[in-house]
Amino acid sequence: MAGLNMVMNDEAFKLVEAELQKLIEQVNGKVIFLVDKNGQMIASAGQTKGIDTTALASLTAGNIAATAGMAQLLGEKEFSILFHEGEKDNIHIALVGTRIILVTIFDSRSALGIVRLRVKKAVDSLGPIFEDIFKKSEKDKNSKQTSKSPFAEITEDDIEKLFG
């Protein structure tokens, strides 16, 4: 997987967002988001205002990575579900395929059993969407069509301007 970029187009993004929206309604959750295992936020749904989703995404990926390390010490490949219970809010974390993490934050208005059930179904729906995204990214990489890249006409001035 070295050097492979994940590219998400409008069509895939809409499919993913629709799945997240459906899930948040089904579980009556507060916030749902998808993160890649590198810690980058992919999409979210629910009451994200007031939550530092970027930091949460990074820490979630760190959490999954550390847990996978623990699993390997026990001879497991990885643990596919993590659950953190708080006084008010709970976090349910599930893997979608091998590279994506689905995070569901919910409170006492939801039940863990329902969350687990619905998340499992959502994972089944999201899995093929991401498989398709990765296949397309791999195909683009192999075809070396750099002309389509948003970086194709980049200049050093563009980069300098980023830093003010």
Partner 1 sequence: MSFINYSAREINCKIVYYGPGLCGKTTNLQFVYKKTDPDNKGKMISLATETERTLFFDFLPLSLGSIRGFKVRFHLYTVPGQVFYDASRKLILRGVDGVVFVADSQVERMEANIESLQNLQKNLAEHGFNLGTIPYVIQYNKRDLPNVIPLEELQKVLNPKGAPYFEAVAMTGTGVFETLKEIAKIWYIFFLFRTQSVILYLYAFPLFPGSSVGRAGGC
The site for partner 1 (CB under 8 A) is made up of: 1-10, 13-14, 36-42, 52, 54-55, 58-59, 62, 65-66, 68-69, 141, 144, 146, 149-156, 158-164
Q: Toward partner 1, which CB reaches closer, 23 or 42?
A: 42
* Residue 22 C-beta: closest distance to partner 1, Å: 18
Place of tokens 């200049």: 155
The Cα 122–Cα 163 span in angstroms is 40
Q: Toward partner 1, which CB reaches closer, 21 or 26?
A: 21
* Residue 70 C-beta: closest distance to partner 1, Å: 10
Beta carbons of 29 and 115 less than 8 angstroms apart? yes
Place of tokens 């993913």: 16
Q: Toward partner 1, which CB reaches closer, 87 or 153?
A: 153
* Residue 114 C-beta: closest distance to partner 1, Å: 30
Write phi, then psi, for 44 (nearest 5 degrees).
-145, 165
Torsion angle, CA of 51/21/64/128, rounded to 10 degrees? -150
* Residue 142 C-beta: closest distance to partner 1, Å: 10
Beta carbons of 156 and 29 less than 8 angstroms apart? no
